[in-house]
A and B are shown apart, each in its own frame.
Chain A
Amino acid sequence: MAIWLTRSRNVTCHLNINLGLLRILTQSYGRSSLTTSATGRNVRIPPHVGLLNLAALFSFQRFESVKAEKQHDSEDHGDEKQALDFPGGRVTFTSHLRFISESPEKRIHCYRVLDDNGQTIIGSNFQKVSKEIAVKMYSHMVTLQIMDTIFYEAQRQGRISFYLTTIGEEAINIASAAALTLDDIIFPQYREPGVLLWRGFTLQEFANQCFGNKSDYGKGRQMPIHYGSNKLNYFTVSSTIGTQLPQAVGAAYSLKMDKKNACAVTYFGDGGTSEGDFHAAMNFAAVMEAPVVFICRNNGWAISTPTSEQFRSDGVVVKGQAYGIRSIRVDGNDTLAVYSAVHAAREMAISEHRPILVEALTYRVGHHSTSDDSTKYRSLNEIEHWKMARDPVARYKKWVEKKGWWTDDDEAVLRSNVRKEILQAIQVAEKVEKPPLMDLFTDVYDSPPPNLCEQERLLRETIKKHPKDYPLDVPV
């Protein structure tokens, strides 16, 4: 805290050249120091680690060039010649030829609340959860697991064409969703159906989408798992990687301009951080001061590509600082840690108009999708270890049980009910007829232009001539 206060004062001294800028900066610095202290130590870790490591690493008295501008302006105080004023601010000089290290001496810590046995770590600083929310989170995690298992089987039986599970990432899905409000706008990747589940998307709605029947909001035009809901502020999933990220920034900017008490929240994987869209989004978000929370599910694998072949940085969390974005790394399999981090991130994003990056460390226990067999590129032991020893649901269950909020009976009733409900949903979805043919041509434009009208007319003629060429279950 002391460091932060000193730093803000120094910044203030420096920038009295520009009073307007000064006002903005003192405001934002004042706020940031308050918020960081309020949200606990971990948020404050990056600057600390940077300072300590570099000092240790190089044993230099001066480490100005490493942390430009803000942090070390004090060093050149009163000695104008030793600093460079340039359009990007003020940077002090050093006579040491020294490069910034490619990696910090110590990796960024991972924020955790629950230990492997589901006990809260003594002294841990986390957002309190009511019994109601705690139990709801647990039951939704279980529901998500069962839904995944049954839908996966349905795909294997050929009843749906494709599926993709979230197994191993239930805590990120449910706990992050629980820390948000319904007004927050979600821009998902594709491994976050739990967020939609939490928001109230019914199992029947999930099934309708996967079966592409006429109750599917996408009108059967997209592959299974491409869910979306206007009502629940959940943008429709696209398979393309990372395209949702800059979109989330645009939406967040709109929320800010409309002075809404809400932020945009966007999810992506470790692989997604390699896409240009990720970098565009991070930079835009910082520059536009957009209230957006970036949640990276770093699950170790982008299909067959391990993170070691994806990036050489200390994961994803460190990328935030390079863009001027406050960031935190959390244990993605720790429900309470994810909940607390996202809760704090949301508060900061909205009240301070700033983006926040959350890197949740986890593991993709399932195959990439039903089109993948991950045993071709990773060991069964590795998968089993994460599935059994590090299951986020089992870990969180121990905590709710210890609280006295959950019993074996509750468990048995929940599992049996959810199972029944999902099987029922599948049976219903299967029987609902497919969307009518006209839906192929609707929504391409606000109203079908002449070329589409003509194509529809020709298609209908062809169907009359060759009815056998076309599926019977699609009403023409």
Chain B
Amino acid sequence: MANTLKRLGKWASSISKTRYYSTICEEQKVQQSGKTVNLFTAINQALHIALETDPRAYLFGEDVGFGGVFRCTTGLADRFGKNRVFNTPLCEQGIVGFGIGLAAMGNRAIAEIQFADYIFPAFDQASVFSLFIYFLLRKTKCRCCNLPGFQHGSTWVKVRSSVKLPSSDTVVGINLTVEVESLYGVLLNLISHIPVLRVDLLSGLTIRSPYGAVGHGGHYHSQSPEAFFCHVPGLKVVIPRSPQQAKGLLLACIRDPNPTIFFEPKWLYRLAVEDVPEHDYMLPLSKAEVIRLGSDITLVGWGAQLALMEQACIDAEKDGISCELIDLKTLIPWDKETVEASVRKTGKLLVSHEAPITGGFGAEIAASISESCFLRLEAPIARICGLDTPFPLVFEPFYMPTKNKIFDAIKATVNY
């Protein structure tokens, strides 16, 4: 038990460290401005800091060694050595599985999947986090009865759903749904083991991957698969909209106690340029940001799509429509509160993303908001998204949720 407590203590201190970082970032993020850099340079800075500040951080993936096909990892192998920054064999399931193992041993694993379009072989690994907990529990020995965590006599316990955390940095309130076939005592045992297990798991895995349209990528270099990953219990899905956001959010992901997947809008790698503070800062996860205040309609989006949505807001303003634009940043667990508060004010909602409309994450937002704000809604929730077709090459401009599609939907919703 003492050992357990000791480990719990270690964990708690790492959490408080996390909070410390968060506080710093909130205070300092706008105060200090740095050089104007593009998005891939901002990512590079974040990775540099992550490796610098944590000697147990590792960075790996296909072609990462020479700087990566998008140059995000330039100079890092030279700076931190090939043992910490390295090429892996061409195997996405290997990359993510390796990352899980590394993370489980108390390291920070930063895994790169070269394109989100190629992430699917890793899906098996990325979606086993909940089962992974199960494995760790079995590894854990109960100090009271000296039995391996899950096996108590002939009784077998199954984890049905994964660990659920009420918010990103809360230690207490872990809710593990377990099915115990008998013996209440086993359940108690289990609960006492949860902190141990979380210490093992919390060490950190971050999967980085470029996603989204780029103008000429066709089906295999343009997809937005974020919704698939929002179905994985325990995994956080984060997407930045700009260089400054990318740096702060990526550092937050890397240091977050939960496994995270960080989709980088590849269209913005070179295109988006912004002042990025040079120091180490983090932006909070699961916290949406109102990036434009308005009163007539709420727009919710993430990543590269926000730039188009902002243009639509500007056009709408000329027509006398005041739009409130929200960057969701973390798709899951998402900041429903901020969106709800905005919709209560405006009474209208539009969600936009590049991924196919059907089963996209926009559908989840629309369903949740219609549940919680039903009586306040003045118009059906609009969704302007990608089509339910494979991502096309020649037809890309037709597939995309363009500014004018959004603009038309704003008008239609406001005049409903």
Contact = CB atoms under 8 A, between A and B. Distances in A.
Interface string B201-218: 000000000000000111
Given A275-B121, A310-B90, A465-B408, A444 B218 contact: no
Contacts of B416: none
A220 B390 CA distance: 12
A226 B391 CA distance: 14
Residue of B90, B217, B402 with highest tally of chain A CB at under 10 A: B90
B392 interface: yes
Contact of B387 (A161, A220, A459): A459
A43 B397 CA distance: 53
Contacts of B394: 212, 220-221, 434-435, 474
Given A239-B117, A275-B121, A444-B388, A221 B218 contact: yes
Interface stretch (B3-11, B47-55, B60-68, B161-169): B60-68
A212 B66 contact: no
Contacts of B358: 451
A455 interface: yes
Contact of B388 (A304, A377, A452): A452
A465 B406 CA distance: 13
Contacts of B357: 455
A220 B395 contact: yes
A465 B90 contact: no
Contacts of B19: none
Interface string B66-90: 1101000000000000000011111
B389 interface: yes
Residue of B87, B91, B358, B405 with highest tally of chain A CB at under 10 A: B91
Contacts of A372: 69
B389 to A, nearest CB: 5
Contacts of B87: 304-305, 309
A89 interface: no
B399 interface: yes
B397 A302 contact: no
Contacts of B397: 469-471
A451 B357 CA distance: 10
A274 interface: yes
A437 interface: yes
Contacts of B121: 275-277
Contacts of B392: 220-221, 440
A438 to B, nearest CB: 10
Contact of B221 (A223, A275, A469): A223
B66 A377 contact: yes
A462 B404 CA distance: 8
Interface string B375-416: 000000000000111101111011100101100100000000
A311 B88 CA distance: 10
A451 B363 CA distance: 15
Interface in A225-251: 226, 238-241
B393 A220 contact: yes
Interface string A263-301: 000000001101111000000000000000000000000
A83 B408 CA distance: 79
A201 interface: no
B286 to A, nearest CB: 31
B89 A212 contact: no
B398 A470 contact: yes
Contact of A305 (B90, B393, B402): B90
Contacts of B63: 303-305
Given A437-B395, A437-B398, A222 B388 contact: no
A240 B90 contact: no
A451 B398 CA distance: 16
B221 A440 contact: no
Given A304-B65, A444-B390, A474 B395 contact: yes
A98 interface: no
Contacts of B398: 437, 440, 459, 463, 470, 474
A444 B389 contact: yes
Given A462-B408, A465-B404, A305 B62 contact: yes
Contacts of A376: 66-67
Contact of A162 (B92, B120, B216, B404): B216
Nearest to B402: A469
A437 B399 CA distance: 10
Nearest to A241: B90
B405 A462 contact: yes
B220 interface: yes
Nearest to B399: A440
Nearest to B395: A440
B17 interface: no
Interface in B71-126: 86-94, 117-118, 120-121
Residue of B87, B92, B393 with highest tally of chain A CB at under 10 A: B393
Residue of B357, B392, B402 with highest tally of chain A CB at under 10 A: B392
A416 interface: no
Residue of B62, B217, B219, B394 with highest tally of chain A CB at under 10 A: B394
Contacts of A223: 216-221, 393
B395 A309 contact: no
Given A462-B405, A469-B397, A240 B118 contact: yes
A403 interface: no
Residue of B120, B358, B398 with highest tally of chain A CB at under 10 A: B398
A203 B69 CA distance: 31
B86 to A, nearest CB: 8
Contacts of B389: 440-441, 444, 452, 455
A371 interface: yes
Contacts of B92: 275
B382 to A, nearest CB: 12
Nearest to B392: A221
Contact of B94 (A274, A435, A444, A465): A274
B62 A303 contact: yes
Contacts of B94: 274, 276
Interface in B275-330: none
B72 to A, nearest CB: 14
A466 interface: yes
A471 B69 CA distance: 29
B80 to A, nearest CB: 17
Nearest to B216: A161
Interface string A148-182: 00000000000001100000000000000000000
Contact of A311 (B89, B220, B393, B399): B89
A222 B396 CA distance: 10
A136 B69 CA distance: 38
B89 A240 contact: no
B90 A226 contact: no
A341 B24 CA distance: 65
A455 B93 CA distance: 35
B89 to A, nearest CB: 4
Given A220-B392, A241-B118, A276-B94, 12 more contacts: A221-B395, A238-B220, A241-B90, A274-B91, A302-B62, A304-B65, A440-B389, A444-B390, A455-B389, A462-B404, A465-B404, A474-B398
Interface of B: 62-63, 65-67, 69, 86-94, 117-118, 120-121, 216-221, 357-358, 387-390, 392-395, 397-399, 402, 404-405, 408
Question: A-B pairs with the 7 shortest C-beta distances?
Answer: A220-B394, A239-B220, A274-B89, A223-B218, A271-B90, A161-B216, A440-B395
28 contacts: A212-B393, A212-B394, A220-B393, A221-B218, A221-B390, A221-B392, A221-B394, A221-B395, A222-B218, A222-B219, A240-B220, A275-B90, A275-B92, A275-B121, A303-B62, A303-B69, A305-B89, A309-B65, A372-B69, A440-B392, A440-B399, A444-B389, A452-B387, A455-B387, A459-B387, A462-B405, A465-B408, A466-B404
